[in-house]
Amino acid sequence: MEILTLLTAVMFGLLSSSQLVATGPVSDDDRTILLEIGKELSLSFWSSSNSSNYCSWTGIVCSNDSLVVERLDLSGHGLQGNVTLISELRRLKSLDLSYNNFHGSIPQSFGNLSELEVLDLSFNKFESSIPVELGRLKNLRSLNLSNNYLSGEIPDELGELENLQEFQMYTNRVNGSIPLWVGNLTNLRIFTAYENELGGHIPDNLGSNSELQLLNLHSNQLEGLIPDSIFSMEKLNILVLTQNFLTGTIPTSLGNCKGLSSIRIGNNKLFGNIPKEIGNITSLTYFEADNNNLSGEIVSEFAQCFNLTLLNLASNGFSGTIPPGFGQLNNLQELILSANSLFGEIPIPVLSCKNLNKLDLSNNRLNGSIPPEICSNSRLQYLLLNQNFLRGEIPHEIGNCVKLLELQLGSNYLTGSIPPEIGRMRNLQIALNLSSNHLRGQLPQDLGRLDKLVALDFSNNQLTGNIPPALRGMLSLIEVNFSNNQLSGLIPTFVPFQKSSNSSFLGNKGLCGEPLSSSCGNINGSGQFSYHHKVSYRIILAVIGSCVAVFVSVTVVVLLFMLRERQEKAAESAGAAAEETIGKPVILAGNVFIENLRQAIDFDAAVKATMKDSNKINVGTFSTVYRADMPSGMIVSVKKLRSMDRTLIHHQSKMIRELERLSKLTHTNLVRPMGFIIYEDVALLLHQYFPNGTLAEYLHVSSKKHDHKPDWPTRLSIAIGVAEGLAFLHHVAIIHLDISSGNVLLDSNFNALVGEVEISKLLDPSRGTASISAVAGSFGYIPPEYAYTMQVTAPGNVYSYGVVLLEILTTRLPVEEEFGEGVDLVKWVHSAPARGETPEQILDAKLSTVSFGWRKDMLAALKVALACTDSTPAKRPKMKKVVEMLREITK
Ligand SMILES: *[C@@H]1O[C@H](CO)[C@@H](O)[C@H](O)[C@H]1NC(C)=O
Ligand SMILES: *[C@@H]1O[C@H](CO)[C@@H](O)[C@H](O)[C@H]1NC(C)=O
Ligand SMILES: *[C@@H]1O[C@H](CO)[C@@H](O)[C@H](O)[C@H]1NC(C)=O
Ligand SMILES: *[C@@H]1O[C@H](CO)[C@@H](O)[C@H](O)[C@H]1NC(C)=O
Ligand SMILES: *[C@@H]1O[C@H](CO)[C@@H](O)[C@H](O)[C@H]1NC(C)=O
Ligand SMILES: *[C@@H]1O[C@H](CO)[C@@H](O)[C@H](O)[C@H]1NC(C)=O
Ligand SMILES: *[C@@H]1O[C@H](CO)[C@@H](O)[C@H](O)[C@H]1NC(C)=O
Ligand SMILES: *[C@@H]1O[C@H](CO)[C@@H](O)[C@H](O)[C@H]1NC(C)=O
Ligand SMILES: *[C@@H]1O[C@H](CO)[C@@H](O)[C@H](O)[C@H]1NC(C)=O
């Protein structure tokens, strides 16, 4: 067997070398052209290649029987330059220039590549209009122009591309309308043109003659009807028309498409009923039609779509009751029916959907009471029932909602008192809102256990008694509102209370103390000093709490784009979906962004590593980090995120792009995302593995791993490394959202790399995700101005960096019990002179007493740290300046 292979190889080798002679002139041509291309694009990997056979150069594939270049793949090398020369490779069948920085027009001469079947120019900066010459590429099967700055209209000449099966041009600035000829492309399977400026109607023959499986036109200015034709061939799998001006009704013919898995038609002007035929689409996973003018009842036929994961009909004119049959939807994760005119009671069967994660029935006319079954499904994370006509008491069973992140019960007619079980919802963090009801009685002490909660609103009720001092356990609190109740007594001394505006406490006749102007007479003195010195464990909880808050948001956002990616991948590989492996999880999607690591990373091995507890490096509430040994010998760190949110919102493709772009930001002091994998409902993020762990461990954990001598030079070089990483981020206009010593990783040479950079790009606060408000960074690192600006800025980063530098200098945690209540590391250091302490008493004596030189350096670095942590943002130095100042120390 092996000999046979060998023989074939030898014969093949002979054959090709004889061919080399035979086709000499052709190959010489290609070599010359390739060398010129290599020069123009500065391809170092070609010029350094000594192999005389250019067919073996990176990115080149020649035809089997000659040295004719048939495929050229230069994707993902960050290239610039003039690509016109490539059109000299006349016999090219496939050209992939995606993920580079090419700009200027797409060369007209590409129209000369008459044998081209695949052309991928996506993820570049090509501008001006699509050249009409591309219409001459008669053999083209796949054309990808996505993610450039192309403008003008889609040229009619492309109508000649009869063989076109996949046409993608999303995220450009193309205007005009979708040409009628698109409907004549009988081979078309995939057509995406979302995020452009297309207007006019969707051609009413689109899909009528073709195998159309994926149609994605969201975020354009399309008008008119959703044409019946797109459902006529019954092949459609994914339909995304969100965010246009489409009108008319939803065609009943959509019921023909048994394979439809995703329908997203929100943010249009559609009216009429949802056709009952929706129940015929048993494969339906997502149905999103929010923000339209749809009306009638919510059809019970949805209950037949047993794979339904997300149903979003918010902000329409639906009336009637919620079908109890929805209780059969075991895969349902999000049911969003807010802002309609629904009435009746909260349907108890729906509460038992075992995967339900988000239930949003707010702003309807629901009546009845909140049923005790409310959290019989303990997975619920979002329960939004505000602005209804709900009566009765809040059931004690609310305490079963242990996973809840947000509870909105405001603006109802709820009576009775606040059940103390509310303190069992220890994960509550986004908001607890019981405002504008008829609640009576005292505030339960147990509220103090909600140490992750950011926003609390009990306003406009009839609550009585004191604000219990135990509420000071709510260490993450930022917004609070107790106004318009009958509360009395002294407002406890607690920073979030005193920092609030007085309107948070107004309308309570008996309340006194700050921030209200009414003083409390002689109760004052005793109340103020009695709660010091018991902060430690709470502070630790708060640290965990805020890390979790960041993590939730990150996880949610990361999953959002991954699920979207997975959805699109699924469509693209619809044919290949059959390959299923028994016993091990099927990998649904995955990508390694860094080209030269593709070989080294084995997805199966990464997945397998996460199945073994012994590989665990780090466990958090929402993610677990594993060490994964690849068959290639490489070790990677795998961050496993649990699926928790499947909301599909606009512009996630931008986030995929960001992640990929970020993976190209190479700086020695930044951790780059290497790739991701999705299987079942699990998402894995791949990073480099760092055997020396985090800076936090290095400084604060004395384990065997970190059994090293006090070493100031190493610490200083770590400090400089972190500063350089951040200076680079600021240079490319990226603000880090969670700088802490726990997010600084150390490689085998103790070179410092800043991690979690991706969250900064994935979380775009302008997108208004609810959980964004919970992002402030880690406790102890949050700049003071954040309390009122709610925005992380470059000077805010400098502050957080200053805290890291103080940790390095003092070997103390950013918050320690020893500092006293309300005093963190920054305050402790800044107030040292006032306490009569010298800087030497602040610095880690194990280091500063080693030598005069070290002590001098440390005092100089302390000056930098003090400047960085100045309470006035404008007075803090720029990150670049920090690097300079620290470098000065080493001289
Ligand atoms: C290529 O060949 C030159 C001279 O023959 C040699 O100096 C150089 O090291 C070689 N480069 C590689 C990458 O093999
Ligand atoms: C080239 O050869 C490989 C195997 O040697 C074969 O799989 C492939 O189909 C051939 N391609 C063409 C274009 O003939
Ligand atoms: C690229 O080079 C061609 C000639 O080879 C020239 O006509 C064209 O203008 C150049 N394009 C750009 C963007 O510089
Ligand atoms: C190649 O394309 C350019 C621009 O479209 C055209 O002017 C030229 O004649 C073409 N050359 C050949 C050999 O087809
Ligand atoms: C461009 O589109 C083609 C056709 O759908 C697809 O195969 C290819 O993966 C896309 N390229 C990128 C970089 O996404
Ligand atoms: C399309 O955009 C171009 C500029 O890129 C503009 O000149 C043209 O008028 C626009 N056409 C329409 C129909 O808006
Ligand atoms: C589409 O095909 C039909 C029938 O072949 C033809 O009559 C029509 O002109 C074509 N439309 C366009 C815009 O090419
Ligand atoms: C499709 O749905 C309609 C309305 O619910 C129903 O009458 C019909 O029987 C269904 N057809 C199939 C094939 O399931
Ligand atoms: C429902 O989902 C499962 C798992 O993804 C899949 O195997 C099954 O084919 C789906 N059912 C339908 C009717 O599409």
Q: For residues 213 and 571, is the Cβ–Cβ distance under 8 A? A: yes
215 in a structural domain: yes
Ligand 2 center from residue 64 Cα (angstroms): 6
Protein residue whose Cα sits closest to atom 11 of ligand 4: 112
Protein residue whose Cα sits closest to atom 4 of ligand 7: 184
Write the CATH number for 496. 3.80.10.10
Please tell me the distance from the alpha carbon of residue 832 to that of residue 764, in angstroms, as a whole number.
39
Cα–Cα distance list, 780 to 478, 507, 741 (Å): 15, 34, 11
331 lies in the same domain as 389: no
The helix (H) or strand (E) run that includes residue 359 is strand 358-360
* Domain finish residue from 132, 149, 172: 172
466 lies in the same domain as 497: yes
DSSP labels for 111-160? GG-TT--EEE--SSEEEEEPPGGGGG-TT--EEE--SSEEESBPPGGGGG
pTM, entire model: 0.65
Residues in the chain: 891
Q: Is the dihedral of CA 874, 880, 881, 882 positive or negative?
A: positive
**Residue pLDDT, tens place only, 447-466:** 999 988 888 999 999 999 99
Please tell me the distance from the alpha carbon of residue 198 to that of residue 212, in angstroms, as a whole number.
20
Q: Find out whether the peptide bond into 515 is cis, omega within 30 degrees of 0.
A: yes
628 lies in the same domain as 721: no
Residues touching ligand 9 (Cβ under 6 Å) are 282-283, 307
886 lies in the same domain as 772: yes
179 lies in the same domain as 258: no
Please tell me the distance from the alpha carbon of residue 457 to that of residue 121, in angstroms, as a whole number.
51
* Domain finish residue from 641, 668, 689: 689
Query: Which structural domain range is residue 208 located in?
Result: 175-234
Please tell me the distance from the alpha carbon of residue 241 to that of residue 27, in angstroms, as a whole number.
48
Ligand 6 center from residue 128 Cα (angstroms): 11
User: At which residue do the structure tokens 């195998």 appear?
Assistant: 211
706 lies in the same domain as 679: no
Chain centre to alpha carbon of residue 245: 28
User: What beta strand segments (E) does 707-863 contain?
Assistant: 744-746, 752-754
Query: Of all atoms in ligand 1, which is nearest to the CA of residue 49?
Result: 13
101 in a structural domain: yes
Protein residue whose Cα sits closest to atom 13 of ligand 8: 280
Query: Of all atoms in ligand 6, which is nearest to the CA of residue 199?
Result: 13
Residues contacting 506, CB < 8 A, separation 6+: 483, 484, 516
461 in a structural domain: yes
554 in a structural domain: no
How many domains are there within the chain? 6
Q: Is 180's C-beta closer than 6 angstroms to any atom of ligand 7?
A: yes
∠ CA 12-16-18, nearest 5°, is: 120
738 lies in the same domain as 783: yes
User: Could you give phi then psi for residue 803, rounded to 5 degrees?
Assistant: -65, -45
What is the pLDDT at residue 291? Answer: 95
Write the CATH number for 647. 3.30.200.20
Q: Which residues pair with 685 in a beta bridge?
A: 639, 676
Please tell me the distance from the alpha carbon of residue 265 to that of residue 312, in angstroms, as a whole number.
10
Residues contacting 750, CB < 8 A, separation 6+: 692, 698, 714, 717, 718
What is the pLDDT at residue 424? Answer: 93
158 lies in the same domain as 259: no
Q: At what angle do helices 712-731 and 794-810 cross, to 10 degrees?
A: 170
Q: Which residues pair with 753 in a beta bridge?
A: 745
Instruction: Read off the tokens for 559.
Output: 């999953």
Helix (H, G, I), strand (E, B) or coil at 669: coil
Protein residue whose Cα sits closest to atom 14 of ligand 1: 50
Ligand 9 center from residue 316 Cα (angstroms): 29
Radius of gyration of the chain (CA): 31
Instruction: Read off the tokens for 107.
Output: 């060369």
44 lies in the same domain as 133: yes
Protein residue whose Cα sits closest to atom 6 of ligand 7: 184
- Torsion angle of alpha carbons 606, 642, 725, 782, nearest 10°? -160
Q: Which residues pair with 59 in a beta bridge?
A: none
404 lies in the same domain as 349: no
Q: Is 209's C-beta closer than 6 angstroms to any atom of ligand 7?
A: no
Protein residue whose Cα sits closest to atom 2 of ligand 6: 152
Low-confidence ranges of the chain (pLDDT < 50): 1-27, 522-582, 620-622, 642-652, 704, 764-776
Instruction: Provide the 10 A C-beta neighbour count for residue 691.
Output: 11
Q: Is 360's C-beta closer than 6 angstroms to any atom of ligand 4?
A: no
310 in a structural domain: yes
What is the pLDDT at residue 737? Answer: 80
Q: At what angle do helices 879-890 and 712-731 cross, to 10 degrees?
A: 150
User: At which residue do the structure tokens 């920054």 appear?
Assistant: 826
135 lies in the same domain as 228: no
Q: Is 95's C-beta closer than 6 angstroms to any atom of ligand 5?
A: no
Please tell me the distance from the alpha carbon of residue 186 to that of residue 378, in angstroms, as a whole number.
49
Q: Is 84's C-beta closer than 6 angstroms to any atom of ligand 4?
A: no
Please tell me the distance from the alpha carbon of residue 182 to that of residue 188, in angstroms, as a whole number.
8
Please tell me the distance from the alpha carbon of residue 552 to that of residue 772, in angstroms, as a whole number.
9
What is the pLDDT at residue 384? Answer: 96
Please tell me the distance from the alpha carbon of residue 249 to that of residue 269, in angstroms, as a whole number.
9
Instruction: Provide the 10 A C-beta neighbour count for residue 167.
Output: 23
Cα–Cα distance list, 658 to 102, 287, 551, 596, 664 (Å): 17, 27, 18, 20, 10
3 in a structural domain: no
Catalytic residue among 30, 73, 96, 738: 738
Burial class (CB in 10 A: 0-12, 13-18, 19+), 580: exposed
User: What beta strand segments (E) does 140-272 contain?
Assistant: 142-144, 149-151, 166-168, 190-192, 214-216, 238-240, 262-264, 271-272
User: What beta strand segments (E) does 210-279 contain?
Assistant: 214-216, 238-240, 262-264, 271-272
Mutational pocket test of ligand 4: of 88, 92, 112, 115, the residue with most ligand atoms within 8 Å of the beta carbon? 112
User: Could you give phi then psi for residue 510, rounded to 5 degrees?
Assistant: -90, -5
* Domain finish residue from 309, 324, 358: 358
Instruction: Provide the 10 A C-beta neighbour count for residue 342.
Output: 21
The helix (H) or strand (E) run that includes residue 20 is helix 2-22
Ligand 9 center from residue 211 Cα (angstroms): 21
Residues touching ligand 3 (Cβ under 6 Å) are 82, 84, 104
Q: Is 159's C-beta closer than 6 angstroms to any atom of ligand 7?
A: yes
Protein residue whose Cα sits closest to atom 13 of ligand 1: 48
Instruction: Provide the 10 A C-beta neighbour count for residue 293.
Output: 13
Is 738 a residue of the active site? yes
Nearest to 876 by CA among 814, 794, 821: 794
180 lies in the same domain as 216: yes
Burial class (CB in 10 A: 0-12, 13-18, 19+), 449: buried
Pairing of strands 682-688, 675-679: antiparallel
Please tell me the distance from the alpha carbon of residue 89 to that of residue 51, in angstroms, as a whole number.
20
Instruction: Read off the tokens for 548.
Output: 């979790």
Q: Which residues pair with 616 in a beta bridge?
A: 626
567 in a structural domain: no
**Residue pLDDT, tens place only, 644-697:** 333 323 334 555 666 677 777 778 899 888 888 877 667 788 888 888 888 988
What is the pLDDT at residue 435? Answer: 97
Residues contacting 472, CB < 8 A, separation 6+: 448, 492, 494, 531
What is the pLDDT at residue 770? Answer: 26
Q: For residues 520 and 514, is the Cβ–Cβ distance under 8 A? A: no
Instruction: Provide the 10 A C-beta neighbour count for residue 339.
Output: 19
∠ CA 359-363-367, nearest 5°, is: 85
500 in a structural domain: yes
Chain centre to alpha carbon of residue 735: 15
Chain centre to alpha carbon of residue 711: 38
- Plot region of 76 (φ>0 → left; ψ -120 to 50 → alpha; else → beta): left
